[in-house]
Amino acid sequence: MSFCNGVNENGVNVGRYYAMPPILATEACVEYHSGLILGSSGVCALRDQCIAGQMTVDEFFTRCEALKSCGLQDILDQGVEACA
């Protein structure tokens, strides 16, 4: 789940959530989606923390770069190939 409105009457990252719809069904996306995209240290969690001001944009990109060696690069490459 990811937050829809990270700052609301309940506080930061409390309350309004939505399920992330899958966009691509490439082999890499299916294999790594739960950990690298939705996991507690995945791209969506990092994005949510960045939006909520819990990390800087530079830190977000640094941490996303680190995920590339864990399968994120495979997701990106196969996504580009699938859309070509």
pLDDT tens digits along 12-30: 555 555 565 666 788 998 8
Residue 12, SS3?
strand
How far apart CA 84 and CA 30 sit, in angstroms, is 19
Mean pLDDT of the chain: 80
How far apart CA 10 and CA 26 sit, in angstroms, is 37
Q: How confident is the model at residue 63 (pLDDT cuts 50, 70, 90)?
A: very high
pTM for this one? 0.65
pLDDT of residue 32: 87
